[in-house]
Structure 1
Amino acid sequence: MTALNSLRSYVLACALALAVVAMAVVGLMMLTIAYDVVVRFVFAAPTDWAYPLNSAGVLASTALALPYFYAKGQHISMDLIHRGLPPGARRVADVVTAAATAFLGVVLAVTAYRSMTVAIAGGLTGSGTFSIPLWIPDAVLFLSGVLLAVVAVLFPPPKDAEGLTAAVEGAPDAGTDARTADTDARTPSPAESAEVPSPQASPDPSSSTEPPSGTASETGSGTAEGEARS
């Protein structure tokens, strides 16, 4: 087990080194593209090497970073098939995925090796000022394919993927928490509701329907006085 862990550490270090090279290639592509844009539109002197150089850079940056991303589980993936399967079937699907990845690495390595031998034997080069030999991109694909196949065998899918998926799916929604907190802030507490007087607690004198005091006595006296005069 210790030897296997040491082998995994060595392979992961090699994959990380290729990923660092991929990042350096991306930085070089940024500089060359910016230079080509400036000289093209400012000085009207476009380069003839920016396009072939950056085409090879895209291929190299993608292929060199692939083994490390797979080993760390940071590549773009989809779980459409895994989501509806029980845990045992998910494990089988993970093994099938790892086998397919290893097969892809082998096919990539074999194809790139054949293309590399043809490019070296024929002395094939690219276009442009630098005339990049075509065996260099093929060598990048060969190295990436071999390392991808090794990584797919040594780094199987994690066993806690189901628990991680459940934790992510069961995480509370931040927007729902914010809306709940805002509703709680706007709703007064029972103590505050008791302190605030109700609008119907204090009667409005102008809207009272009771007759003023003394109205009935004054009416009665006025009627008696009228009968006495008559």
Structure 2
Amino acid sequence: MKFAVIVFPGSNCDADMYHAIKDSLGEDVEYVPHTASSLEGFDGVLLPGGFSYGDYLRSGAIARFSNVMPEVIRAAEAGKPVLGVCNGFQILLEAGLLPGAMRRNDSLKFICKPTILKVENANTQFTNAYTEGETIQIPVAHGEGNYYCDERTLSELKDNNRIVFTYDGENPNGSVSDIAGIINEQGNVLGMMPHPERAADSLLGSKDGLKLFQSIVKSWRESNAVNA
């Protein structure tokens, strides 16, 4: 499987994502600049964390108009797995690939620490290596991770099992219903604030994030075996 790590001006977790895929997962991966006009040849798309375009206007608001984003949207519409982490999640929200918006953390402070997540839905291509209700340790690092949506959207997310991860115990940012990660209706686009790429090696304190990437590869291989 071949992954694209999209690099925006201000991305700072692109190297973390790259090495999680290459060294911990053992799959093919390439950096793709925000100026790219094609994602041909890639099987999965990863939008890393950071401060794209300095978070001017709103986090992710300018990156949403980068040259590469129509290709990211096209990949999502084609059913390819698209993962947005932290700033990547914010970009997916701004692009309309996921519902809702991000607000400043309740504390109005940048938060960087390990968090405990609960796997709410283990029946997705991002979570099939986990078990339902499993708790995992994944770090967060953000100033605007307070996920918000209206009551109708929240009901839709809950009714369709689209809330993939929630904060278990302490909610670090005030996000509605303790939401830490959601998927789109088709189930191939995941946005999450915690950083699984920073929990892909025991040297980092946790390998719980590696299962997320393993899940993507497992689903991709099974899908391609069926379609072969």
Q: TM-score, normalised by structure 2?
A: 0.20
Larger radius of gyration: 1
Greater helix proportion: 1
Higher percent of residues as strand? 2
